Structure formats: C-alpha cells, structure tokens
Amino acid sequence: MTQRKPEGMPFETWVEHQIRTAAERGDLTDLPLSGKPLPRRDGPEDSYAWALSWARRQEPDANFLPPSLALRREYDDLPARLLELTSEERVRAAIGEFNDRVAAAWRQPLDGPPIVVPMREEEPAVEAWRASRPPEPEPVPAPVDPPRRVSRWRRRPR
C-alpha cells in the first residue's frame, strides 16, 4: 500500500478499496499459492524458525556454505560449467581463475570444516571440453566452373 488512508474513511473500507483496485490491475492473478490452502505452520514462530524456513525455500546456493565447502562444491560443478562455455580461451581462463582462488584459500587459515580442495588440471579439462563439442563440419570446396566453351568462330586464328 503506497498511499495513506484518507481521513474520515473507515479502515476496512480502505483495505477493501486497495484489494479491489489491485484485482482490477491484475496484481492478484497467477499468485504462487492461488487456489491452494496456506502452508501449515507447526512449531515455534520466532526469528530463527522464520530464517530457517526462508533458507530452505531458497534454491541451493553456495552463499550459505562456509568458504571451504563452497569451493569444494564449485570444484564438483566446474566440469558442467565448463561445457557451457563457447571457446577454449574462456575454458582456460575459468580454470585459471578457479585455481587462483584455490591457491588463495590454501594460504588462508581454515574457515569451516577442514576440506582440502585440489586444483583443476587444465589440459584434461580442455580435452573434455573439446570432446563435448560437435565436430566441425568439413569445409565445402568451392564449385569448380566447367571449362567455358568457345565458339568455333572465335577459335579461328586471325
């Protein structure tokens, strides 16, 4: 609600007005729980429970992980991410950037569980990337023009 309630108007009337105008604008169509019962809330209603349920609703993301676990997850996801890249230079750059972050993590004190993340070897990863690419089509040779026929009158020496 972006507007203030006008003076003299009952609160219930103002709320009904806001709901009706939102429905007319189409703001209430295609809502995620439309036509379904509200989720049941069993358990404590404190800020910790709310934050925990919010984190569970989010997509699995490395931002909630300690740095060592996030780096390990990225190590596991790197081959699939490399397959989406379009050039060999980008693949080599992504591996180099990942290896730089691993080397930086090795120099830092442990923050989280003691998980050692190895560096990625560049050449095997590039070979796997090349193998996943479709073979390049062979170049089509330029059509060869047949020899041009010279009329018999032009062949005659002058």
For 88-131, the pLDDT digits (tens) are: 899 999 999 999 999 998 888 877 777 888 999 999 999 998 88
Do residues 95 and 82 lie in contact, with contact meaning Cβ atoms separated by under 8 Å? yes
Q: Where are the domains of the chain?
A: 67-132
- Tell the residue number behind the tokens 């569980």, with chain if given: 113
- In sequence order, what DSSP letters do the residues of 71-100 get, joined into one string? HHHHHHHHHHHHHT-SSHHHHHHHHHHHHH
pLDDT in tens, 136-156: 778 888 777 777 776 666 655
pLDDT of res. 153: 67
Single out the residue of 70, 67, 77 nearest to residue 110, CA to CA: 67
pLDDT of res. 134: 81
Do residues 91 and 82 lie in contact, with contact meaning Cβ atoms separated by under 8 Å? yes
Of residues 59 and 38, the one with the higher pLDDT is 38
pLDDT of res. 5: 75
pLDDT in tens, 60-73: 654 677 777 888 88
pLDDT in tens, 9-55: 887 788 888 889 888 998 888 888 778 887 777 766 788 877 777 77
- Tell the residue number behind the tokens 């809330």, with chain if given: 41
- Amino acid, res. 41: R
User: In the chain, how long is the greatest CA-to-CA distance?
Assistant: 113
Q: Does pTM top 0.85 for this prediction? A: no
Give me 137's structure tokens: 């089509």
Do residues 155 and 134 lie in contact, with contact meaning Cβ atoms separated by under 8 Å? no
Distance from the first to the final alpha carbon of the chain = 99
